[in-house]
Amino acid sequence: MWDNVCISSSYAVNVETATLLMNTSSPYTYAAGYNFKHRGTGPLTNIDPYLSREKPLEPHRSQLSNSTLQALSKFSSHWPEVEYIVDPLCAGIEPMLLGGASCASIAYALVSSLSQGDVTIISNSTDLPIINPNLLSDLTDIELAIATLKRQRTIWKTPEMKPVVIGEEVVPSVNVSTDAQLVRYFRETTRQLYHASYTCKMGVSNDSLAGLNSKARVFGVSELRVVDASSFPFLHP
């Protein structure tokens, strides 16, 4: 099993974001619902985030170890390593803790993740399988996550963001600064992007992890193919 992991940092901001909709009894939420239903206008018409991708830039890239850089070099040279998601919500913070202010997050996904989990069938009946995502089990992912969050913090501190943000970082907070503290934050808050693949991957017949041949046909079963993302032999960005 192979999936992207997602981590966020958040600030209170002085513009309206979808955070305000989390208070379902507020006049703001009622008006947003009314305008969406009767006029097709308002914040509910478009709350999709903006995306961008890159390989982390200097000075953050130089913080990666040689072993991590070598591991990442196995991917195609044009393959991005992280995906940034500008999200009009706050990661893990209730709106009332911000004094009624809106909140925004920059989330990032590791799209060159090397951590792999597994799905284990535990019986020949309909019992649910054991799913082990095994997120952040590879040291390369840990180093990349640390470097990317530090880069994220520089984005929040740019002159362009200064008129928007209010106060200091609320998630994970300015008190989370050492690499060890960041890793603990990652392990407590990391979530999947639900792009799981590789659970029934295409491969050759002598590959113990392969369930399909190159035409997506299930080994040992006639006239059955698997054509969803589980058949991918690697995780796409």
Element (H, E) at 11: strand 5-13
Classify burial at 79, counting beta carbons within 10 Å of its beta carbon; exposed 0-12, middle 13-18, buried 19 or more: middle
Q: Give yes or no for a contact between 113 and 5, defined as CB atoms under 8 angstroms apart.
A: yes
Pairing of strands 82-87, 50-54: antiparallel
Convert the pLDDT of each residue in 111-151 to its tens digit: 999 999 998 989 888 899 999 999 999 999 999 999 999 99
Determine the pLDDT at residue 68: 97
DSSP annotation string for 93-142: --GGGGTT-EEEEEEEEETT-----EEE---SSSPPPEEE--TT-SHHHH
Q: Is 195 a known active-site residue? A: yes
Domain with CATH 3.30.560.10 in the chain: 5-12+50-195
Q: If one looks up domain 5-12+50-195 in CATH, what number appears? A: 3.30.560.10
Q: Mean per-residue pLDDT for 182-191?
A: 93
Phi first, then psi: what are they for 45, rounded to 5°? Answer: -80, -20
pTM of the model: 0.86
DSSP conformational letter for 15: S
The mean pLDDT value of the chain amounts to 90
